[in-house]
Structure 1
Amino acid sequence: MLIPCLAIAQFPVQIKQLGPPGSNQNQNQQTDDTTGVAGVKREPYPLRRYFKSLAGKDSMNITRMWAGSFIIPGSAQLYNKEYWKIPVVYASVGGFLFAGYRSNIAWQSTGLQRDRNTRDLLYLGAALSYWGSVLDGVKNFRYHKDVLPARASLYSAMLPGLGQYYNGDYWKIPIIYGGIITVGYFISSNNSQFQRYKYLYYETSNPDSPLAGKFNAQTMKYYKDTYRRFRDYSILAGVFVYALNIIDANVFAHFQDFDVSEDLSASLFPGIIMPVAPQFTNNSGPMVGFNLKLNF
C-alpha cells in the first residue's frame, strides 16, 4: 500500500517600507512592452522637492541627502534638523581655507618650505572638515530600521571598512586594508620601475646623452611599456578592491533583515489527506498518510 506524504512549508511574509517614515518614495512594478521584463518605475525628483525637503516639508532618501551635502555643505545637517552644526561646519571649513590662503601668500613671498607645509596642512584640515560634515550627515540620517544598506554603502565609499564596522563584520576590516596596502605597494613599485625605464628610454634615444649606446633603446622601451601596463593593472585591482568593499557592505547590510534565528523545525505526524482532484484518481475518498511540516 502506498502511503502519500504531504509537505507543508510555512514562509513568513513581510511587507517592506522602501523609504524612511513619511517618505513619498514609491516604487511601482511595471512590465516593459519591448522586453517583457518587470522593471521599476521611479518618479522624477525635481530640485524644488529637494529644497522642500531641506525646509522640512518633504522627505528624501539618504543617497540624495548625501549627494546634496557634497554640493551644499551643511545641507545634511539642515535636513537632519541639527541646526547648531551648520555654523560649526562653515567656521571650520572657512577658517582652514582662509588660514591656508594666508600661508600660501607667505610661502610665495618667502619661499620657505615651512610656509608651504603649513599651507598644505591647513588645506588638508579644510578637506577633512568638509568630509566630516558629509559623514556626519550620513550617520545621523533617521530611519526606521537599525541597519540601512544605503548607509553601509556610503560609509564604505567614504572610508573603506567603515560599512563593515557598521554591519558588525569587524573581521573583514583587516582583509580590506590588507588588500588596499598590497595593491598600493604594487602600484608604487610598478610606477617606480616605469619611471626608471622611461627615463632610460629617453636617454638612450638621445644621441647626445652619455647613456646613448650603453643600453638598447628598444629594450628600454619594452620594459617601460611592460611596467606601465603592470601599473595600470594594479590600479584596476585597486578599483576592484574598493568596489568590492562597497558591494560587500551593501549586501551584508541587506542580510540584517533576514530571520536567521534558530527557530527552524520539521515535524512528521499522521493525518487524513483529502484528494485534490478526485476525477483523476481511482480512490475518491480520504486517505491516511503523513504530514510533513517545515518551519523556516
Structure 2
Amino acid sequence: MARIRFRLLLALAALLVWLPADAQLRRGARTVVSGGMIARTDSLRTQTDPSDAGSDSADAGLAAEIAALDSLLTAEFRADSVLLNELRTDDIVTLDSLAAARFARSRASETAPPADTIRRTPYRKGWFMSDSMSLSKVCWISTVVPGYGQIYNKQYWKLPVLYGTLGAGLTLFIHENNRYKPLKREYEAITDRSFSRTPELNALQTRMIRSNTRRQLYLGLTIASYAYFIGDAAVNYSTNDVSQVKKATTLACIFPGAGQIYNKSYWKVPFVVGGFASMIYCIDWNNRGYQRYKKAYNLLSAYEAHPEDFPDGPTDEFHGRYSASFILNLRNNFRRNRDLCIIVTGALYILQIVDAHVDAHLKDYDISDDLSINLEPSVDYTYVPSAGGNRPVFGFNMSFKF
C-alpha cells in the first residue's frame, strides 16, 4: 500500500514536469509559460514488484482510479495542446489565455446548432440583390425596374406575361397617340381662328374624341398591368416575416382598392373604385370646361382689343352673346372646381390607405365578450398635517373591461 502511494506521487510529479515529445509546443523566442504547464502523459504505468502479488482488493481499486484519472487527463491535455498551438507563437502564452480559450471552446460546444440545421445555401449580399431585402425596397426597385419583384421571388414564368401586357399596352398607346396629336393640332388651329360650327369641324372633333378615348384606354391598360405586377411582387414576398398590416398598406399605396381586396373586404371595393372614377370624371369635365371658356375668353379679348382685325365680328363660339367678364368668371369657376376635385381625389387616396391599414389591424384584434364595469369601495390612508397623523379616506374604485 505504501509503495503504491509513493509511486502515485512520483507519477503526479512526472506529470507536472515532463512533456512528451508528441505534445511539444512550437514556441517562439518570446514565448513564456507563466504558472507552469501540465504536460500530457500517454499513460500512468503502475507496475508492481512480484512481492506485491499479495496486495488486497483496495490496491486494485486504487489502480483503477489511477487509470481513469490518466485517461481523463490525457483527453484534456490533448485539447489544451490544440488550443495552445492555435495561439500566436510570438505572443505571451499565459494560463489566463488558456482558461479563456477553454471557456470559449465550452461555450461554442454548448451553443453550436446541430449539423443538419446549419444553413448551407450561399448568402447573397449587395444593394440590388440580397437574401434579406425588405418589402419596401423590393417594391421601390420594382417601380423603377418592372419585373424585378418576380425575379426576386423566383417566379420567372410571370415575366413574359408582364412584359407582354405592358409592351402591348404601351405600343398601342404610342400608336394611337401619334394619330391623336395631328387631329388635335388641326382642331386647335381651326378653333383659334374661329369657333363657328361647320360640318368639317364637327367631323374632325368626332375623330379626335374617338382617338382620344382609345388612347386613354390603352394608357389605362398599361398603367393597370404595371401596377398589378408591383402588387404581385408584394403579395408573393416571403423573404422576411412581414405582417398582414404592412402588406395591406403597401398594396393600397400601389393601387387604390388593392388593400381592401387583400383584407377580403370586397364590399368596400366598389366604393373606392367608384369614388376614384367619379373624381376622375369630374376632373376631366371641369378641365374641358376650363379649356373651352379659356379659348372663348381669349378670342373675345382679342376681338375687343383689335376689332378691326375681325370684320365678321367676334369669332368665339358664343359670337359675342356674353361679355368677356362673364366668360372669365365661368373659366375661373371651372378651374377652381377642377383643382378642388384634384384635392378631393388625393384625400380619397389617403383615406383608402388608412382604411386598409386600420382594417388589417382589426382583423387580428381580439374582441372579448367580457364587457363589464367593476365598482368597489376603497379605503386609503392619507397623512393630514393638521390632524398630526394618517386619516382614512373613503371612496370607490371603478374599472372598465373591454
1:225 Cα shift? 1.4
Give the aligned partner of residue 232 of structure 2: 136
Q: 1:154 aligns with which of 228, 246, 250?
A: 250
- CA 280–51 in structure 1, closer or farther in 2 if over 3 Å, else same: farther
Please say if 1:64 is aligned against 2:64: no
Instruction: Indicate the structure (1 or 2) with the bigger Cα radius of gyration.
Output: 2
Q: Which amino acid aligns with 2:297?
A: Y
Please say if 1:244 is aligned against 2:340: no
Where 1:82 maps in the other structure, the secondary structure is: coil
- CA 241–126 in structure 1, closer or farther in 2 if over 3 Å, else same: closer
What is the distance in 1 between the residues matched to 2:398 and 2:327? Answer: 74
- Segments of structure 2 that go 5 or more residues without pairing to the other structure are 1-124, 184-206
Highest RCO, 1 vs 2 (Cα 8 Å, sep ≥ 6): 1
What is the distance in 2 between the residues matched to 1:68 and 1:224? Answer: 42
Where 1:51 maps in the other structure, the secondary structure is: coil
Give the aligned partner of residue 202 of structure 1: 298
Q: Which amino acid aligns with 1:137?
A: A
- CA 202–92 in structure 1, closer or farther in 2 if over 3 Å, else same: closer
- CA 141–261 in structure 1, closer or farther in 2 if over 3 Å, else same: farther
- Mean Cα deviation higher: 78-87 or 261-270: 261-270
What is the distance in 2 between the residues matched to 1:222 and 1:117? Answer: 29
% same residue:
33
Please report the TM-score for the alignment, with normalisation by the length of structure 1: 0.60
Q: 2:339 aligns with which of 232, 238, 245?
A: 232
1:228 Cα shift? 1.0
1:66 Cα shift? 0.8
Q: 1:82 aligns with which of 126, 136, 155?
A: 155
1:294 Cα shift? 6.4
- Mean Cα deviation higher: 112-121 or 193-202: 112-121
Q: Identify, as 1 or 2, the structure richer in helix.
A: 2
Give the conservation status (yes or no) of the 8 Å contact 1:153–1:249. Answer: yes
Q: Which amino acid aligns with 2:349?
A: Y
- Mean Cα deviation higher: 166-175 or 240-249: 166-175
Q: Which amino acid aligns with 1:50?
A: W
Please report the TM-score for the alignment, with normalisation by the length of structure 2: 0.46
The number of equivalent residue pairs is 236
Q: Which amino acid aligns with 1:152?
A: A
1:247 Cα shift? 1.9
Over the aligned positions, Cα root-mean-square deviation in angstroms equals 4.6
Give the conservation status (yes or no) of the 8 Å contact 1:152–1:163. Answer: yes
Give the aligned partner of residue 256 of structure 1: 363
- CA 196–52 in structure 1, closer or farther in 2 if over 3 Å, else same: closer
Q: 1:51 aligns with which of 108, 113, 128?
A: 128
